[in-house]
Structure 1
Amino acid sequence: MEWGPAYSMVMTEACAQVAGVHDRMPVILRHETWPDWLDSPPDDARLLCQPYPADVTIRQTANPRVRR
């Protein structure tokens, strides 16, 4: 079997702006930290797994994400 493009989402605790929506959020990496994420030992890269330190804007839509 051949795989196409794939990704994985790494989660961390929510930052202040996201906490009202959910208790966790994806890890968001600044461009300058990409080499640390991609080329460092796992323990060093893990240090980047923290809530995003800058302001985050939350925009909710009327479209449901989950069907119950």
Structure 2
Amino acid sequence: MAWQAKAGNEVLKRRLWDLEKALEQAQKDKRDIHEEMIRQYQELQKQTAAHRQQPTDSTWRRK
């Protein structure tokens, strides 16, 4: 019986280790996605600002 309990304990330890590694990977993936979204947002902000500074055809016609 003792060896069965020890074997069961080892299985649980391995399962816990696997779950901890999966959690760490999920957290890393979340950080990576968040950083990419920030990068894309900042790029969009730059493009929007640049677009606002360019005169449109209708602006040129009014002058």
TM-score normalised by length of structure 2: 0.23
Q: TM-score, normalised by structure 1?
A: 0.21
